[in-house]
Amino acid sequence: MDYYVREADVNDLGQILSIYQDAGINTLGSLTLSEAQVAYKKMKSYPSYSVYVAESNGHICGTFALLVMDNLANGGTPSGIVEDVAVARAFQGKGIGKAMMQFAINECTRQGCYKMMLSSNEKRTGSHKFYESLGFSRHGFSFRVELMEKDAQ
């Protein structure tokens, strides 16, 4: 299967939303296409924050977001954060997730990051094994505070 990773554009949003739905990562609900277009325009205004897609034969089969942020600590060396990693079920197990994460690692390396982080729901043990197979290691603890109820949307 031939596929490549590229930065997403506004025309990709419908397929990206479909992949999120398919992957079950919309725990707080889904955006409509028009809502996604508004959010995407805002995201594009952020420096060093991009949404990427893996594409095969004109079909988007995976997606992730990458933020490269500057730091005041660690000598001002930037770090990368990956979010919203998803591969359409029909394309899972074909190396697309691996290609997307390698792309993110390469991009962080290119931008001089000293680390790249991501978080994963503790219930997604298959995902944990996948990330570990790529050289990621568990690091510290992840903490969060819920700021809104799922039903409040």
pLDDT, tens digit, 9 for 90 and up, residues 41-74:
999 999 899 999 999 888 899 999 999 999 999 9
| Amino acid identity at 141 | F
Mean pLDDT of 74-82: 95
Residues 6+ apart with CB under 8 A from 46: 67
Domain residues for the domain of 127 are 4-152
Residue 64, strand partner residues = 52
The total domain count for the chain is 1
142 pLDDT higher than 90:
no
Q: Please report, for the domain that includes residue 13, its CATH number.
A: 3.40.630.30
The helix/strand/coil state of 70 is coil
Separation CA 85–CA 60 (nearest Å): 13
Residues 6+ apart with CB under 8 A from 69: 48, 78, 79, 80, 81
Separation CA 33–CA 96 (nearest Å): 25
